[in-house]
Each structure stands twice: as C-alpha cells, then as structure tokens.
Structure 1
C-alpha cells in the first residue's frame, strides 16, 4: 500500500461481462491505489449497484455482449440523473474508432481507454480528470446547489486567472448565462471561444442554442448546416436537433423531419429512432413513423432502453395505416412480455378499440373504449399521446361529444402548442370531421385566453393577490400549460417586487415553475426571458433591501 495514496477513498465499479477482465481491471485499480472496487457483469447489475451506492469512478466495457452496451448504459445513467455529479465514467473499448462514436453520441464519457490498457493508463486519465474536477469545483458545487449566480461568479473568477482551465470556464459561463436568460451575453461568450479556437464544436453548439433562445431561427439554421457540413460535425446530434427545431420554428415541418431522418441515419440508436418517428408521425408521414417506431421497439427489447411507449406508438401508427390485425397482435405480444400497468393498459385499450372498430367488430370496440374511458375518470388535464388515443377511440366508436371534450382538454393543456393542434386536426380529418378542427382549436384557445385576460385585468386593477389566485387556479387545472406557467412565474416575481420580500415559499414556487418550463420548453427564448426577469427581481431586492442573492439563488 502506498504511504501517500490520493485515491484510497475512491469507491469504484468495474462493469464487464467477462469475469477474467473484471479481475484484470480490479487488479489494475488496486495497483493505482484504489482499494474499494465492486464488479458488475451486465448493465442491469451495474444499474442496481449504482442505485444503491455512490461511486466516484466507473470503468465500463463498451461491448457488454448484451442488449445494452456500455454507451447505452452511460447515456441512460446520465439522462436519468442516476450518476452522482462527482462520478467519473471511463469507457474501456477495443474499438479504435470509439472516439468518433462517442463524439456523435448523446453523452460523452469523461475518458475512454483503448485496450489493452495498463494501470498507468488508468492513473494518467484519473489524475487529469481529478485535477480538472478540482479546478472547476467552485463552479460545479454552486451548480449542485442550484445557485447559478454564484456559479457564474466562480466561472468569471476562474477566467480571470487565464490558466489552462480558461476554455472550460468559458464553456460553463456560456451555459450558465443561457440558463439565466442572459442570451446576448451567452452569444458573446461563445463568440469569444470561437475567436480563440475557430471551429470549436461546443462553442458552435452553444451559439446555436443562444440564437434559438433569442428566436433567431435563421441564424441557428445556418450555423447548424455549416457544422453538419464540416468534417468534425458531420454526425453531431445536437446540431441535427437544433437544425430541426429551427426549421420547425420557421414552419418547415418537412425540413425538420428530414433533419431528424439524417440524424437517425448518422447514429441509428433507439433514442434517435424515437425522435425521428415522433416527428414523422406529427407530420403525417405514417410510413416513416412506422419504420422508425418498429426499429425502436425491436431494438430495445430486453434492454433498459426499452419503453412501453414504443409498443403503443407503433400500434397506433399501424391502426392509422389500416393494419389493424398487426396492431392487435403487437399489443397482445407486448402484454405477454410483461409490459403492463394502469397507464399502459388504458392506452392499449384505446388503441384496441380503434382497431376493432376499423375491423367491423363494433360491440368489442365499444366495450374496449368504454373500459379505457372509465379509467380516464378523474385524471388531470394533459395534452399527451394517451389523451389523443382516447379521443380517437371515442371517435371510432361514435362517441363524438366525449371525443371533442378530450381534444378540447388536450388543447387547453397547452393552448399555444402547435404540435397538439396539428395532431387534433389530423385525428378529426381521419374520422371525416376535419371541418370541426378550426372551430374546436379556436374555442379551446379562446376560452383559456379569456380566463388569462381576466387574471391580467385583476392585476392591472391592482388586485395582485386575486390575480395570483386566479392564475394559479388555472395552473392546477392545466399543470403543463406553458403560457399559464409563464404568467404564474411573472406574477409571483411581481409579488416579490411589490412586497419587497424574498419570501422563501414564493421564491421556491417560482424556481419550480421555471424548472417545469425548462422541461416543457428546453432552450426557449420565453423561458430565458423569465429567468432574466427573476434575476433582475433578485438584484433589485438585493440593492433595495440588502438581501443576499447567493443564499436566495436565481
């Protein structure tokens, strides 16, 4: 044992399906000085151990010889926020082109080690990553506390040193400024990075996000196309996504679909197939949607990447294409595999009702629809796939009033959501009632706009508390309506300003609204503007009342 062992406190996990390789990696970690090493033989075993223990280092083999490979495991852990913030993830691979695979993937590990590896290789990467972590610790600690202002200040302090961590600090600065709604400032940060290192991929992606957050869809589109035409960015998934979002923002749904198709061709992962299928389904390209949903469903069977939604989305698409028997067979197969639960069963019944109705089995269709709709009783208002499937089931079984009520509910759940309006219109057209779409959409949106107007009228009359009560009542009914969430955020900030108070309960409520908005509208300029308004509110209160923003974080 080393006398001075900087790695003695590290808890490590080795993930490899071969016992001999597990033993080798364990021995190499012991040689480095890491004494506490666990092992997992599969992605599922690794997931179980990671959920139960906080690791600081994971060495994972890329090819696990199972349905889930090392890259998929890593992306699943990151996407679901299962990895501890201070956990380093090293990919071990015999693939000489893994760096290209990783750079085109959704998530990039902290380091990759090319077989055959030595203890020295591990220590070299570990030392470099720990030095980087230590240098960036003031920033990452503040982010972990959700104190974005303090994190931004820490990034500026690190930038002022002009040492070897300058570019990493600049990257954090741009990201933090975007999160705080400082869109113009973020553009400057990314442009500075590109002046120092032309063609730097993360800076180009950051600049695209800043353009998109500011509503500059044309600039975002042009830069995305430039990146995708370059050698280093040809398979950059973030660039494909931003290109699709910019095109959709400009009303070019066909162009957005083409961008998602190209992304799925570049990286044919389950996630990419789902995203492409969703875009194709919304635009009415059922052939492309069916093909991509089928790939996602078949490719993720037996894997942690599998989702019940895969079977449901594919079955719904099959029904709409007239392949009713195939849809029924698929639902039976999915249920037999153990894909069940109240949410799955309800939507499966709704799709089954549609398929049976199309096949002329009226009584069985009505029974399935009735059972699905009974399960809907008391459910909240949501504009989602399940609500539309239920509405289609009601239409297919002659329950027009119930169908229109469900569609109205879906529209009101987020009355400015153009995608939902598109799906409602298609559903009505498919059942020969397309002429009702425009009136239904107008009625649903106007109803909610009227109530929002009433809340704003109360606000203009100086009745802020009554306005807040009215708008938050709307939010309780429509918890995912982004316009209502934005109004709630703004009015609560106004309450803080007018009362010159940093009421912790109200401030936490505002932060919760913003987090929900980030989930519903990632990178949207309206969310960025509202973050800026909160930041300005806190700055005003600090100036006038000597409050501390580091405690009352933005």
Structure 2
C-alpha cells in the first residue's frame, strides 16, 4: 500500500468538544498535515465544505442536543453534491450502541471510527481509503459529473487489466448498468459473482434487477434472504418492503419497515415510507407516529418536506382532529415560506380541514388562495404528487383544477399502464369513472398523434423542422420518455449529416437524461446512447 503524503492535504475536523479537536489536530500535524480546519457546529461545517475542497473530513456523530448530527451533515452534503469524489469522509462516535452505529452507517460514509483511536489507527485507515480513491479516480470522476457512459467505459478498461480489486470494479459496473437500465448486463455480473460466493452486494443487486424487470416473487425471495442473514443491511429491508408493496402485500411491507425502523430509527426516508404504507393499511396511529417522526427529524434535515406536514395533517383530519391539522399547516406555511408548491399543498389540505369543520368562510378563503397558486406549480409536481393533489382538489369540489392536473399526468405518462391505473382509481374515487376513462383515452390519442407527426417529419428528411417540432412537444410534455427520445433522435440524425456542435450535444444529453430518469430500461434509450457515442466520436 502506497504511503500518503499529508503535507498538502486539506483536513476538516468536526466535533463539539474543542479539547478533542485539538488532540486530533495534533495527530494530523504529526502526519505532516498543515492545512487543518475545525468546527463544533454542523451548520458551520456545511458552510466550510461548500467553500473549500477538503481531502479528509473527520466528523463526530453526536454534536450536541438539538443540533445537526454527523448523519445529517453527511446526508446534506451528499444531497447538495458538495462531497467531492476524492474526499474521505470518516464518521466518528464514542458510543457502540446499535442505534448509534446504524445511524452513522445509514448514509454510507467512507469509513467508521470508534473513540478513542490512535494516530496509527487513523493513518492506516486513511492510507487505505486514499489509495482506493486514487485507484478509482477515473470512474468516480465520471460518476460525479453524472457521465455514466464514460464511467462504464472506464470500468471496462480497468477490468480488462485484471486488477487485484477487480470485483470492486465489477460491482461498480453492475451498479452503473442498473442506472442505465442495462439490466441483463448487470444480472450477468451478479450471477457470476454469486456462483462463486453469495456476497450481500451481489444478492442485493440481483434483487434490484428482478424488481426492475418485474420479477417480484424472485426479488422478494432474494431480499428476504438478505434480511434474514444480514440483519444490519438496512437497504435490503427497504427493497423488501417496496417489493411486497408491489405484490399487494402491504401489511407485510409495513411489518418489514416497522422492524427496520426499530433497528435504525433515524432514517427519515424510511419513516416516510412506513407512514405511506400504514395509510394504505388504514393504520392511522402508525401513520401519525411515523409522519410525526419524519416532521421532527426533518427540522435539521435536508429531507424536510412540506409533504410530511400535509401528510400528517390529512391523518389528523381523518382522525377527526381538523383543529390540530390547521395548527400544523400554519407551521408548515411559515417553514416553507416562499415555496409555491409547499404553499399549495398546505392550503389545499387546509381546505379539507375547513370542509370537515363545516367552516364555509375558511373553505372559500382556501379555495381562492389555491386558485392563485395552482398555475405557478402545475408543471413541477411529480406524477405521484400530482395525483395526490388532484385527489385533494376533487374532494374540495375543484373539478377543473383536478382534471387539468390529471391531464398533465396522462400526457407525460401516456404509455405507463401502472400510473394510468392509479389515475383511473383517482377518477373512480371522485365518482368520475366513465369521464376519467374518456379523458385518459383522449389524452393518449392526442399525444400519440403529436408524436406521429414529428416522426413523419424525421422520415421525410425534414430534420430541422422535426427538431423544432419535438422541442415544442417536449416543452409541453417534459417527462414523456417517447417524445424526449424522439427529440434526441432527430438531433442525432441531424448531427450525423451536418456535424456536431456543443449546443446540440448539450440538448441531446438533456433529452437522454430525461428519458433515463423516467425509464432507464426503455429499449430505444439504449439504442440512442450507442448512436450518441458513435456520433460524438
């Protein structure tokens, strides 16, 4: 293992005890480091990380009551993309309790240290980590800039060299294949590794492949095996619950998430998932408890969302406590001031509370406020959030607003049978079964006609017109994978004839990234990726 020169390494020590920070500073100084910063505040640590590219971050897990902890610092800098690929993030804790250890490891720091530790122990850990970072530099650089194709190529080049850590490169290649929707490639890698040894990462990956390819029973068995044999592998619990939910086994999914929350209670996203599945099971007490946990944890987390407050408020309304719901929603409006989507969510649920209370004046005020907010956010909601919002508008008697939202969802997902079924169920709940069916069919036909017209332009060689046409269509349906794929294809064909430009390459990347986010397994997406590589070369 190569020796690391710490002379020019930039170090950040995060701990609420100044005496401890001084002792760790001396350790780094003894290793030759000169550029060393320290802080006892999580907020200050995030500001420092945002402003300086550190090579090593040593962060204590517990930074004092009522303050951000190490887990929340790590989740935020990852969420904001502040953590460079080359930075070593080590989580430190003085406690060895399961809750503390699981909390420290949930968001995957590079390593984990228990106090007290010696200078040599720190050096050995850092040398191993920094050498690994150096070995995977080309791959991780590409991943960091979200150039997954280049990362895959870099993996293939290193695998051909048969390095000592080839299995780690295979693991990254398989993960990248899943990201790009190349499920068959990923499955071949996982199968090859499992044939030698049933290692957890390969089993977890294979389970994900089965899930994405809708082999849910196979996925369930794999994730169940992982949960039974590796009880601290929290990701396996989450995937098992998702799979059980897909199979309609929502009560079992809730049991799995409840068990996971007992093992690692500080994972805010898992608390939200538990709340949602509890609502499906009509278990309002669990839903209320889990939403409250998410709200409390979110106060210092980057995963704080207005949806946690509105979700809890809806549960309170259903439990006949609309007054408490209104208090919570007022708190939400203050916390998320200046965010139109959050404001809309809050005011719509306020309307539901007023309706439950029989307060006509309050309901009228909420409806007027929602009308002002609606147009500004209708194009920015996720499909699931849109369906939820439409459902609320239907309950409030705002049929036009709800129908517009539903139309946008259908337009962007006209070929997604699973989502269209959910859309139909929203119409059914609103007593609009036949009308909803007609709207779905008519919207599907319109988007198909738009797509066919653009394809005809391409076939007739009118590529410039086709590009302009699909640009308008994609602006109207920004999440429609077929429209975006055809927009990318028109530009690629144009570049094949007339040459590439940075502007056109950038546009193609944008369209392909939209497709990848919606459906990375879409066959045409992979063909376009190959065409893109050929054209750019």
Q: Summarize the Cα distance change of 1:535–1:397 in structure 2 as closer, same or farther, 3 Å threshold.
A: closer
CA–CA distance in structure 2, aligned partners of residues 481 and 282 of structure 1:
28
Q: Is the 8 A contact 1:425 1:437 kept in 2?
A: yes
C-alpha displacement of 1:483:
4.2
CA–CA distance in structure 1, aligned partners of residues 389 and 182 of structure 2:
42
Residues 1:236 and 2:233 aligned together: yes
CA–CA distance in structure 2, aligned partners of residues 525 and 186 of structure 1:
12
Q: Is the 8 A contact 1:7 1:34 kept in 2?
A: yes
C-alpha displacement of 1:155:
2.7
Query: What aligned pairs does 1:417-496 form with structure 2 within 5 A after superposition?
Result: 421=420, 424=423, 428=427, 432-433=431-432, 436-460=435-459, 463-496=462-495
Q: Summarize the Cα distance change of 1:456–1:215 in structure 2 as closer, same or farther, 3 Å threshold.
A: farther
- Name 1:361's counterpart in structure 2: 359
CA–CA distance in structure 2, aligned partners of residues 494 and 150 of structure 1:
22
SS in 1 for 2:112: strand
Residues 1:532 and 2:526 aligned together: yes
CA deviation digits over 1:388-436, x for unaligned, max 9?
5654564455443333233323433434556755665565555555664
- Which consecutive residues of structure 2, in runs of 5 or more, have no partner in the other structure? none
Q: Is the 8 A contact 2:387 2:423 kept in 1?
A: yes
Q: Summarize the Cα distance change of 1:260–1:482 in structure 2 as closer, same or farther, 3 Å threshold.
A: farther
CA deviation digits over 1:149-199, x for unaligned, max 9?
543343334334444322222222222333444432322222233344x12
Query: What aligned pairs does 1:59-70 form with structure 2 within 5 A after superposition?
Result: 59-67=58-66, 68-70=68-70
- Name 1:77's counterpart in structure 2: 77
Q: What is the TM-score of this pair, normalised by structure 2?
A: 0.86
With a CA cutoff of 8 Å and minimum separation of 6, indicate the structure with the bigger relative contact order. Answer: 1
C-alpha displacement of 1:56:
0.9
CA–CA distance in structure 2, aligned partners of residues 299 and 500 of structure 1:
54
CA–CA distance in structure 2, aligned partners of residues 507 and 204 of structure 1:
37
Q: Is the 8 A contact 2:313 2:326 kept in 1?
A: yes
Bigger shift: residues 42-51 or 431-440: 431-440
Query: What aligned pairs does 1:160-309 form with structure 2 within 5 A after superposition?
Result: 160-196=160-196, 198-230=197-229, 232=230, 234-247=231-244, 259-268=256-265, 269-281=267-279, 288-309=286-307
- Name 1:21's counterpart in structure 2: 20
Q: Is the 8 A contact 1:281 1:289 kept in 2?
A: yes
- Name 1:377's counterpart in structure 2: 375
Q: Is the 8 A contact 2:94 2:115 kept in 1?
A: yes
CA–CA distance in structure 2, aligned partners of residues 94 and 399 of structure 1:
55
Query: What aligned pairs does 1:90-101 form with structure 2 within 5 A after superposition?
Result: 90-96=90-96, 101=101
Q: Summarize the Cα distance change of 1:150–1:436 in structure 2 as closer, same or farther, 3 Å threshold.
A: closer
Q: Is the 8 A contact 2:492 2:508 kept in 1?
A: yes
Q: Summarize the Cα distance change of 1:72–1:186 in structure 2 as closer, same or farther, 3 Å threshold.
A: same
- Name 2:128's counterpart in structure 1: 128
Q: Summarize the Cα distance change of 1:380–1:510 in structure 2 as closer, same or farther, 3 Å threshold.
A: farther
Q: Summarize the Cα distance change of 1:32–1:215 in structure 2 as closer, same or farther, 3 Å threshold.
A: same
C-alpha displacement of 1:217:
3.7
CA–CA distance in structure 1, aligned partners of residues 460 and 280 of structure 2:
42
C-alpha displacement of 1:26:
1.4
Q: Summarize the Cα distance change of 1:386–1:114 in structure 2 as closer, same or farther, 3 Å threshold.
A: closer
SS in 1 for 2:90: strand
Q: Is the 8 A contact 1:104 1:236 kept in 2?
A: no
SS in 2 for 1:91: strand
Bigger shift: residues 97-106 or 335-344: 97-106
CA–CA distance in structure 1, aligned partners of residues 154 and 314 of structure 2:
50
Q: Summarize the Cα distance change of 1:82–1:465 in structure 2 as closer, same or farther, 3 Å threshold.
A: same
C-alpha displacement of 1:76:
2.5
Q: Is the 8 A contact 1:308 1:339 kept in 2?
A: no
CA–CA distance in structure 1, aligned partners of residues 216 and 312 of structure 2:
32
CA–CA distance in structure 2, aligned partners of residues 176 and 245 of structure 1:
21
Q: Summarize the Cα distance change of 1:483–1:354 in structure 2 as closer, same or farther, 3 Å threshold.
A: farther
Q: Is the 8 A contact 1:212 1:525 kept in 2?
A: no
C-alpha displacement of 1:71:
2.2
Query: What aligned pairs does 1:94-173 form with structure 2 within 5 A after superposition?
Result: 94-96=94-96, 101-102=101-102, 105-144=105-144, 146-173=146-173
CA–CA distance in structure 2, aligned partners of residues 514 and 318 of structure 1:
42
CA deviation digits over 1:191-215, x for unaligned, max 9?
233344x122222222233334444
CA–CA distance in structure 2, aligned partners of residues 485 and 278 of structure 1:
31
SS in 2 for 1:377: helix
SS in 2 for 1:39: strand
- Name 1:34's counterpart in structure 2: 33
Q: Summarize the Cα distance change of 1:283–1:444 in structure 2 as closer, same or farther, 3 Å threshold.
A: farther
C-alpha displacement of 1:21:
1.4
Bigger shift: residues 49-58 or 205-214: 205-214
- Which consecutive residues of structure 1, in runs of 5 or more, have no partner in the other structure? 542-546, 549-554
CA–CA distance in structure 1, aligned partners of residues 528 and 477 of structure 2:
23
SS in 2 for 1:89: strand
C-alpha displacement of 1:221:
3.0
Q: Is the 8 A contact 2:86 2:137 kept in 1?
A: no
Aligned length: 532
CA deviation digits over 1:235-260, x for unaligned, max 9?
43332343344455556666655554
SS in 2 for 1:536: helix
Q: Is the 8 A contact 1:412 1:448 kept in 2?
A: yes
C-alpha displacement of 1:24:
1.5
C-alpha displacement of 1:39:
1.3
CA–CA distance in structure 2, aligned partners of residues 270 and 145 of structure 1:
27
CA–CA distance in structure 2, aligned partners of residues 99 and 174 of structure 1:
31
